[in-house]
Amino acid sequence: MSTDLFINGEFKEAKEKQNIINPSTGKAIAQAGVASLKDVDSAIAGARAAFDQGEWPRLSLAERKDFISKISQGILDNAGELAELESLNTGKPIKETTFMDIPSAAKTFEYAANNFERFLSSEELNVSGKAKAVLRREPVGVVVLIVPWNYPLLIACWKLASALAAGNTVILKPSSLTPLSALKLAGIAHTAGIPAGVVNVINGSGDKIGAALCADRRIDMLSFTGSNEVGRKILEYSSQNIKKSIMELGGKSASLIFNDADLDTAVNSSLVSIFLNQGQMCTAMSRIFVQDSLYDKFVVSFVEKARTIKLGPADSHETQMGPLISENQRKRVIAFVEKAKAEGAQVLCGGKIPQDPALKNGFFFEPTVIIDVKPQMTISKEEVFGPVVTISRFSNSDEAVKLANASDFGLAACIWSKDINFAERVACQLNSGTVWINTYGMFYNQLPYGGFKQSGFGKELGREGFLEYTRLKNIIIDQSADSRPLVNYWYGF
């Protein structure tokens, strides 16, 4: 299987190729083209021309809606292939890609198609007897979308649906580890009839093409989801020619479980909140805090169930947890666990590579539970991005809030309590962009998503996320009775 770059309406073979690895087996499953700097320039030029001279920003809203709807249907029509590609490329269990990622990706385009017209509606204001204003939403221009490897198709769709519906042209750069579903998405957009240059997909490492892609003055906006380390580089690149940016960065999310919570529900849901997608989620609840009287029961039950999670290859419907994305990522996770032990924490289960011979070639790592963790420990402060959770105790809500907020990140949090009014009051004290009460991981296209502090700025999804991909123009119209405004007389002529 070989995949090409998609530039200016055509699939183009790249001179350089890279192997794409299946994390379940450690073997290559495809070759993907790697964009050169010349390819980057071609993609930018194509997107720029499509926006400045092309039809896309000038289409009627009804015509644009038709294209967006066709992409949504195209995702559904190719759901089986997309689910398989996503699993093979990321190591994510096929059940997750089939029932979560692919349907959600299609729904994102469906929501954009059905709602963007009202989001773009102009607002007229009579600001005084002599003037009125029209507030008009317009596309920003050429937008670069940089997508991570943990949800390569879904997050691409979050960004692409809003950017396209708003009338922008885009350059999508998937992670060089996981470009396959993004390139398939380019084919779906092409089949839908998207005009040349409106969607471009180029694969390549950030070190090689990042500066050229982000610093170019022809780019109007950047939307990035990924690590803080890479986010800082992108902001540095983009500062050479100032442009609008959205940054969805890391997390060290906290789950607060109060004494009145239902134990089984809290345990089962908490397992999902950290071990789904092998813990490779920005919103992973990697810090669990349990109130004193429930703590011992919770830990016993959580560890007992964590030990039963079935590891296996991503393409098996029996697999509950697949491999990490790469050997480098596994080494990084192991280093965090070893450092936690060296700093005095205790590993109750997991913490090592599984011994099953059937898994020896993949990048598997056992679900890991750590206790006796102090706030100053590295494991408490830094994002592991793997199946590793710390469980600590608290006495009262004030202490719980203090522990949860003692982080440089502010992406998400969970609260578990039967007292909803109390839980809402606690939620208001948490420094997190999203707070789930008695649930986890519920993302809705109607609702904005984004974090605080070092977790970034800007929103995805919802009306607010859509409007990020627009610019607001203020048109002021004089309504003086004699068409001679006050400014006309300023110098007395």
CB atoms within 10 A of CB 398: 11
Annotation marks residue 383 as catalytic = no
180-191 and 61-77 helices cross at what angle (nearest 10)?
130
Tell me how far apart the alpha carbons of residues 175 and 172 are, in angstroms, rounded to a whole number. Answer: 10
d(CA 288, CA 266): 11
For the question of residue 248 being annotated catalytic, the response is yes
Q: Are 4 and 11 in contact (CB under 8 A)?
A: yes
* Catalytic-role residue among 86, 248, 366, 383: 248
Q: Which of 282, 383, 460, 468 is catalytic?
A: 282
DSSP string, 217-261: TT--EEEEES-HHHHHHHHHHHTTS--EEEEE-----EEEE-TTS
Residue 42 dihedral angles phi and psi, to the nearest 5°: -65, -40
Distance CA 293, CA 259 (A): 6
- ∠ CA 456-460-463, nearest 5°, is 130
Nearest to 324 by CA among 92, 99, 151, 154: 92
| Amino acid, res. 52 | D
Catalytic residue numbers read 248, 282
